[in-house]
Amino acid sequence: MKNTKLIKKKLFLILIILIILVFLIMVSFKSSYASYETESIINVDVNKAIYLFEEKQMSFNIDLDGIIPSDEPYIYSFSVSNYNEEQRSEVDLQYQISIITTTNLPLNYKLYRNEQYSLSSTNIISASDVVNDTDGSWYKKLTINDIYNMNYNIDKTDIYYLVVFFPKVYSDSTIYQGLVDNIQINIDSKQILE
């Protein structure tokens, strides 16, 4: 019994000595390794440029309820801009147009940029190819080789006139009854880097 008490007392003494030692070590450590130090974060914050390219009226459905074979072409317009009501693109940009149509109707196409259709105006379609899709369907691909630029320092709108010809020779044909052709205009735009 006495031995147990003695052991407890010794353990308690050791504990007190340890507490004092830890305290001394902490005080010693603090004074030995105190040094000046500062750390700051620097953030760079500059407004990112607005990239703005507005497209209007980019897809058309042409059906025979809307057009009939005629000597006069049908004209559809669409436009692209580098600005809207609120802001303008802050980077120069360039774009290229391509047109894909279905081939249900015997239609021919011409495209004019910033000029109305006339005999003297310039058709910008470079090539027209009928292509077989991977799923077996046929479509017509109209290629426009030219790439157009829009500068960031000026409001710019390009208006396009898509002229669709449905020759009158088909006026007696009934095989196109109920058919619809879809025209999809794709515009690939990107910032000019170089």
DSSP, res 83: B
| 74-85 per-residue burial string, b: 16 or more CB within 10 A, e: under 16 | beeebebbbbee
Q: Is 186 helix (H, G, I), strand (E, B) or coil?
A: strand
Residues in contact with other proteins by CB under 8 A are 8-9, 12-13, 15-16, 19-20, 35-51, 90-92, 152-153, 191-193
- If the CB atoms of residues 19 and 75 are measured against other proteins, the closer one turns out to be 19
List residues bridging with 185 in a β-sheet.
99
Least separation in angstroms between residue 49's CB and other proteins is 4
Minimum distance from residue 30 beta carbon to other proteins (Å): 13
CB of 188 to other proteins, least distance (A): 12
Nearer to other proteins, 55 or 63 (CB): 55
CB of 9 to other proteins, least distance (A): 6
Q: What's the rounded Cα separation, in Å, for the pair 44 and 48? A: 12
- Please state the closest distance from residue 190 (CB atom) to other proteins, in A: 8
Q: Find the shortest distance in angstroms from Cβ 37 to other proteins.
A: 4
Q: Which residues neighbour 96 within 8 Å (Cβ) at sequence distance 6 or greater?
A: 144, 146, 147, 148, 187, 188
Task: Fill in the amino acid letter for 88.
Answer: R
Name the CA dihedral angle for 160, 166, 167, 169, rounded to a multiple of 10 degrees.
180
Q: Measured between alpha carbons, how far apart are the two ends of the chain, in Å?
A: 93
119, 160 contact by CB (below 8 A): no
